[in-house]
Structure 1
């Protein structure tokens, strides 16, 4: 049996507009991909921090996690700092979990957010 340790998984996605349905749908897609690609179950999760850019304010990304049944996981939503020229309409997450020490963590970048980390999004040359 392997040792489990606290690990962190990063991810990001983008939405086409500031409407609640788009924020919830994109967040749900991102969260689902993070959990699937890293073979994580709800019992493995410790906490999730979501951030949004200043142009997204119609809904909390945490709503998607609650709708997915993650009702006992501490969630936090915050605003990204508005760096000039940064990607807009972006949702990011930092998920803390218990996972085997030897597991390779796969960070997930979807949609326009793939530009943030092409090396992790599978876009590197």
Structure 2
């Protein structure tokens, strides 16, 4: 069955190295927390807020050795007034036998406020 694994992280600055480093940290934590193998991933969607445009965060996933053939796509988040700024979100579509409540969604930095109910303190 395909399940969605969610994740989000914020950056302080719209700079390529910071965007890529933050995305890598988030992706690695999503993989580690759920024991995800690239061969079980159907696709990955990444979205960024309007204030992030210095890099494609999907680049980090594409360069991981066994993730070469996983389809990834970047897109813009809806610009809702007063929403969280400088945020990178990930939706990973993963083939797993886990139930939805067994999946570990990962929210880091200021993105914790998006889903405190899913964030382990």
Normalized against structure 2, the TM-score is what? 0.94
Q: 2:76 corresponds to which residue? A: 79
Once the two structures are overlaid, the 10-residue window that deviates more, 95-104 or 66-75, is 95-104
| Counterpart pick for 1:107 among 96, 105, 108 | 105
Which deviations, in whole Å up to 9, do the C-alpha atoms of 1:3-59 show, x marking residues without a partner? xx1111011000110001011000000000111101111111110000000000000
1:88 is aligned to 2:88:
no
Match of 1:63 in 2: 59
For structure 1, the 5+ residue unaligned runs are none
Q: Which has the higher helix share?
A: 2
Highest CA radius of gyration, 1 or 2?
1
Q: Which runs of 4+ in 1 moved over 2 A?
A: none
Aligned-partner Cα distance in 1 for 2:75–2:47? 5
**Within 5 Å, which residues of 2 pair with 1:1-125?**
5-69=1-65, 70-102=67-99, 104-123=102-121
The answer to whether the Cα contact below 8 Å between 2:62 and 2:72 also exists between their aligned partners in 1 is no
Q: Which runs of 5 or more structure 2 residues have no equivalent in the other structure?
A: none
Task: Give the aligned CA root-mean-square deviation in angstroms.
Answer: 1.2
In 1, Cα distance between equivalents of 2:5 and 2:48: 17
Question: Alignment length, in residue pairs?
Answer: 119
| Residue pair 1:28, 1:68 contacting (<8 A) in 2 also | no
SS at match of 1:24: helix
TM-score (norm 1): 0.91
